[in-house]
């Protein structure tokens, strides 16, 4: 897969994407990653990429001309152009799986108060948010999408890591896990995990995953959890 990024801050990407699994994915050719500086598509001597909003109001917007020129020169027939913005579709594992099937992604990161609306309506195929919080720019969100998608590409993870994604616990939080020693600072590992009874262990893990999901992330369960007390109706 080819992933390209259009950004005002290319230096933010070097480092995080030069380590570990992403580094290996790049070295093996499973991920081709390219950075582009939006300022390379400006024509004035100040390399202007922003302007004031029509109608007034605080802050600056990404002006359309450099973004249109850049995306039109970078995109190919099969490129999916994705804006990173807090108003986008909420990025999750199912969107990561969807993106991992593409051949070419172009992630466009914003800055200032956001994009001129025509970038959204006439240039982007999609708009993604990594969560409900505001960041200074879209570079970190783009890196998160790149990481989540890259680890899903065929051959990038070891077999053990890949099969975990598809395990029965899909859609639930992880069950508690322990390694040696069997007792650490007075804290024992649950007896069932030392029993060697694999049917009992699987049952315990399913139950723990369910309990933890109910307690912490009931939104992940298909059906709403049964409330302890019937909700009040007005
Ligand atoms: C577009 C519009 C993404 C991009 C406004 C980007 C959070 C996310 C930006 C902005 C971002 C996210 C400056 C508010 C850049 N912040 N949650 N910032 N802002 O994915």
Instruction: Note the pLDDT tens digit of each residue in 2-31.
Output: 999 999 999 999 999 999 999 999 999 999
- Compute, in angstroms, the gap from residue 64 CA to the centroid of ligand 1: 17
pTM for the whole structure: 0.92
Say which CATH topology domain 165-223 has. 1.10.1270
Q: How far apart are CA 83 and CA 129, in angstroms?
A: 9
- Tell whether ligand 1 has an atom less than 6 A from the beta carbon of residue 145: no
Instruction: Note the pLDDT tens digit of each residue in 63-107.
Output: 999 999 999 999 999 999 999 999 999 999 999 999 999 999 999
- pLDDT for residue 12: 97
Q: Which CATH architecture has domain 2-150?
A: 3-Layer(aba) Sandwich (3.40)
- Ligand 1 pocket test: pick from 84, 129, 131 the residue with the most ligand atoms within 8 Å of its Cβ: 84
Pick from 121, 123, 119: nearest CA to 111: 119
Q: Which residues pair with 108 in a beta bridge?
A: 6, 83
Q: How far apart are CA 22 and CA 150, in angstroms?
A: 7
Domains 2-150 and 165-223 in one fold? no
Residue 163 has pLDDT above 80, yes or no: no
Largest CA distance in the chain: 72
Q: How far apart are CA 167 and CA 35, in angstroms?
A: 35
- pLDDT for residue 228: 53
For ligand 1, atom 16: residue with the closest CA: 135
For ligand 1, atom 2: residue with the closest CA: 114
Instruction: Note the pLDDT tens digit of each residue in 171-181.
Output: 999 999 999 99
Instruction: Note the pLDDT tens digit of each residue in 44-55.
Output: 999 999 999 999
SS3 for 7? Answer: strand
Domain ranges of the chain: 2-150, 165-223
């Amino acid at each position: 897969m080819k992933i390209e990024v259009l950004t005002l801050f290319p230096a933010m990407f070097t480092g995080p994407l030069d380590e570990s699994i992403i580094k290996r994915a790049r070295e093996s050719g499973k991920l081709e990653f390219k950075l582009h500086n939006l300022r390379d598509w400006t024509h004035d001597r100040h390399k202007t990429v922003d302007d004031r909003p029509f109608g007034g109001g605080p802050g600056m917007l990404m002006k359309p001309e450099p973004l249109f020129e850049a995306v039109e020169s970078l995109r190919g027939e099969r490129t999916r152009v994705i804006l990173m913005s807090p108003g986008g579709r909420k990025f999750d594992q199912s969107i990561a799986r969807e993106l991992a099937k593409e051949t070419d992604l172009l992630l466009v990161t914003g800055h200032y108060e956001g994009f001129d609306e025509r970038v959204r309506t006439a240039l982007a195929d999609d708009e993604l948010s990594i969560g409900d919080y505001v960041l200074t720019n879209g570079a970190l969100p783009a890196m998160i999408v790149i990481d989540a998608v890259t680890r899903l590409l065929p051959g990038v993870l070891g077999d053990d890591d890949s099969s975990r994604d598809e395990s029965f616990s899909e859609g639930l939080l992880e069950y508690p896990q322990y390694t040696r020693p069997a007792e650490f600072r007075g804290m024992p590992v649950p007896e069932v995990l030392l029993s060697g009874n694999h049917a009992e262990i699987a049952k315990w893990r399913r139950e723990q995953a369910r309990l933890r999901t109910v307690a912490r992330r009931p939104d992940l369960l298909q059906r709403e959890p049964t409330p302890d007390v019937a909700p009040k109706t007005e």
